[in-house]
Structure formats: C-alpha cells, structure tokens
Structure 1
Amino acid sequence: MEEIIRNYILFIKKFEGVFNEKYNIVNGLWSDIDKSVSRKGNIGDYKYNFHGRGCRIEYNNIICEYDSGFIDKATINFSVWKLFKFIETNPNLSNMSMNDVYSGILDLIEKKIVEKSLIEEVDTGTYDINKDYLRTLTFERYRK
C-alpha cells in the first residue's frame, strides 16, 4: 500500500507542477487558485476541475480526486473512495476492493504515513498525508 500512496501523491504533485508552471503560481496552488485561473479546464493531457477545497484530475483515463487539508492546505486530504477510484482507474496498480484499500490505509496510519483528519478532535472520516512523510519525497517538476 505504501507504493500506491506514493503513486497517488506523485500523480497529484506532477499535475500541480504542470498547473503551477502554466499559470505562474508562486504562492502555492491553493493560495492562488481563486484569483485569476479557471477552476475547470485542460492543460495538455490533463483535464481538471477544482471544486470547493478539492480537485478532480483525469489523465490517460486515470481519475484522481483529492482535497487540500481542512486545517493545513499544504497537505493532501482524501477518502477511502477517492484512493479506491485512483487505484481502480490506474492500470499500473493492483486490483483492490474497497475493504482492501481501507485495511491498507489503517496500515499506513500505523506507519505514520497517513493520519486521520480531525477537526477539534472530531473524526472527519477522511485522511491526511502526514506532512513529515511528504517532506521525505522528492517531486520532479514538470519540464517541457
């Protein structure tokens, strides 16, 4: 499951790199998105739709949905369904049931890669990628 979550994160970061470069975003995607950039469109082979605090990305028939964190917009927030949809539509990842994904997330929580998203100690039913784990990953910037 660790490889799957890494693929999920890298997919998101690659899109964000392409998006940031295209629109010259310097303060971070979630800081600048509402200012002058269309919330729905295409960049190359990416199709995107920003909604609320989240985004749906489609690329080569792979669907990736994610949200910015409730408290800290710099983190990635997701649900079991969103991660399942990414796995289900990605031909490079193994087939898993929704229950397998949930069990895998519990394992990622134990490894401190993912944490339950809490607001004032209330479980939101979603998960955040641990910021310390995000810092350990290197992201290749989009290059033409």
Structure 2
Amino acid sequence: MIEKILTDYITFIRSFEALLKDKYKQDINPCSFSHSFFERVGSIDGIEYHFHGSGCTAKKEDVIYTYDIGINEIKFTQWDLTELIRTHPEYQKLNLSDDYIEYELYQLINKGVLEWLTIEGIEGTPYGCVFMCYRVIQESFFD
C-alpha cells in the first residue's frame, strides 16, 4: 500500500510542478524560481501552496502534500508521508502504524527506489548523519 501512496504522492508533486512551470514558462524546478517569478504563497488550479526554504507544502481538497526539493529530486520525511495519509480521505481509513510505514519505506530502500538522505554538518559537526529522511532515486518505479 505504501507503494501506491508514494505513487500518488510523486504524481501529485510532479503534476503540481508542471502546472507552475507551464504557467510561468520555466523549465526548471519551481522552488528555484518561486521568489523571482511568483509569490512563494499562492494557489493554482485549486492547489494552495507555500514554498519555504528548499521545500513546499501544497494542499488540495484538504489533502496535504509536503516535501523538500533537490535539484530534481523529491525528498521527504516519514512525517511528510504521514501527513498525506492523515489528511487523505481514502488513506486515513487504513490506520497504518508508524512502524509499518517505516518498514515499508525501508523495503523500498532495499529495492533501490529510495535512499536515506545524509545530512552533513549538523550543529557544527563534520560528520554526516542519517535523519529519517528519504530521497526518491528511481521515480520510474512509480510510473
């Protein structure tokens, strides 16, 4: 079920980004040009959005999609996915536990679809750490 939820999540994010790229005639990640071409807070095609730092929170029909953006990568935490599940009318009925979600995400890491995001230099330390953050490395898996 997590694969289906992630497929919907990624499809929504890429469709939302395509709307912004089309409207503003840009072919780069919307987070890269949100401060130049449009307000970081707004709405498009029934989607309310707020770009913040390197991420975005988008809301459509009370379903919340929150994520971070790399150059062309989708990054998310387990909390981001849990917010989607909590606010989605179909997914919230599944009563998925945090342990189940974490286990299923780990299985996708083992398949090479996701990977841990290593964050370096936290609080002045020179070492990277794993911060329960995931990076989508094989989007075609979700097509």
TM range (shorter): 0.7 to 0.9
TM-score, length of structure 2 as denominator length: 0.84
Question: Which moved further from structure 2: 28-37 or 74-83?
Answer: 28-37
- 1:39 corresponds in structure 2 to 40
TM-score, length of structure 1 as denominator length: 0.83
- 1:84 corresponds in structure 2 to 82
Structure 1 CA distance for aligned equivalents of residues 67 and 57 of structure 2: 7
SS in 1 for 2:43: strand
Cα shift readout 1:75-115 (whole Å, capped 9, x = no counterpart): 01100000011112112333312222111111111111110
Pairwise CA RMSD: 1.7
The structure richer in helix per residue is: 2
- 1:2 corresponds in structure 2 to 3
- Contact (CA 8 Å) 1:81, 1:98: kept in 2 or not? no
- Contact (CA 8 Å) 2:31, 2:51: kept in 1 or not? no
- 2:59 corresponds in structure 1 to 58
Structure 1 CA distance for aligned equivalents of residues 56 and 134 of structure 2: 16
Structure 2 CA distance for aligned equivalents of residues 36 and 18 of structure 1: 14
Structure 2 CA distance for aligned equivalents of residues 95 and 89 of structure 1: 12
Q: Which amino acid aligns with 2:105?
A: I
Q: Which amino acid aligns with 1:134?
A: E
Question: Which moved further from structure 2: 96-105 or 9-18?
Answer: 96-105
SS in 1 for 2:107: helix
- 1:134 corresponds in structure 2 to 139
Poorly superposed stretches of 4+, deviation over 3 Å: 135-138
SS in 2 for 1:26: coil
Question: Which moved further from structure 2: 89-98 or 7-16?
Answer: 89-98
- 1:142 corresponds in structure 2 to none
- 2:105 corresponds in structure 1 to 105
Q: Which has the larger radius of gyration?
A: 2
SS in 2 for 1:128: strand
Structure 2 stretches lacking a partner, 5+ long: 121-127
Q: Which amino acid aligns with 2:49?
A: Y
- How many positions carry a matched residue from both structures? 133
Structure 1 CA distance for aligned equivalents of residues 51 and 141 of structure 2: 27
- 1:74 corresponds in structure 2 to 72
Cα shift readout 1:40-93 (whole Å, capped 9, x = no counterpart): 011121000000100000001100100013xxx210110000001111211233
- Contact (CA 8 Å) 2:119, 2:130: kept in 1 or not? yes
- Contact (CA 8 Å) 1:49, 1:56: kept in 2 or not? yes
